[in-house]
Structure 1
Amino acid sequence: MFSTLAVEGMFLLGFLFLAMFGAGIYRGTVEVQEDNGRSRLLLSYFSTCAKNADTEDAVTLYEDTAGQVLSFADIESGYAVRVYQQGGKLLEDYALSGSPLAPGSATVIGKTDIFRVDKVGKRTFRVITDEGNVAFTLRAGAEYEG
């Protein structure tokens, strides 16, 4: 009787150990996936905005009191999506082009302590954040190379 209980106890302890080990592995996998997803989401945001605003002179980079501001304008409506960093957050502001920034009513895109935009060429921008960097090239104004 005692040996049967001992064997069952060993099986129970083994099962609990495997369940705890499996839960730890699963938690680690989920954290890696979430970090990867946040990184891709933040960086792909700029590519998506650039594709949506890919018209002549619609994407501009300028300095403001908040630092660098990347603006994606809709030439027809006169409004622009302006992206800038303030207080460790990357913010998106949608307002009339040229109007002052309004961080109080801006939407938080993500958390980042680094936000730097470099204009690499005539139509190429590189955005650098805590999550990495992404480059996008505007096609508007480019001559067709067929």
Structure 2
Amino acid sequence: MRAIPKTFGGKGAGKTTTALASRHGLGLLANDRVFVRPNKTGGVDVLPSSSAAAGGLGLLEALGRYERVPEGLEAGEKLHPTQDERVTQALPAGDRTPLWERGREMKVQVFPDQFTSWFGVSLATEGEAAALVFPRVEV
């Protein structure tokens, strides 16, 4: 089983930079959220999640996966019900400008299985984290 790193942190903490590093051989489990629990061997087990998977417009563009979302919408596929309508409207218009509300980026919300069908990203059903990265954010 391949080890997959996870990043945590607020706006500007380096989560997207870490995601871009995935293009250079690192595995990427999640850019925003992941469920884990300590295991009996002192490690951390990564648990599957059925919640929405979120990706910022800029991140999708940087990873070369932006176009797949409007294509899916044009084919009649639906985004996760937590999807903000303003993001949905930006997609077919080709607007890649990140959208913000109260200091938080509004992201594309997809169902976990859409990561496989839309982006060709395999989903793991279990695993053990090789590392947890907690960037230091100075205010």
Same fold (TM over 0.5): no
**TM-score for both structures, normalised by structure 1:** 0.23
The structure with the greater share of residues assigned to helix is 1
The structure with the greater share of residues assigned to strand is 1
Q: Higher RCO, 1 or 2 (CA under 8 Å, sep at least 6)?
A: 2
Q: Which has the larger radius of gyration?
A: 1
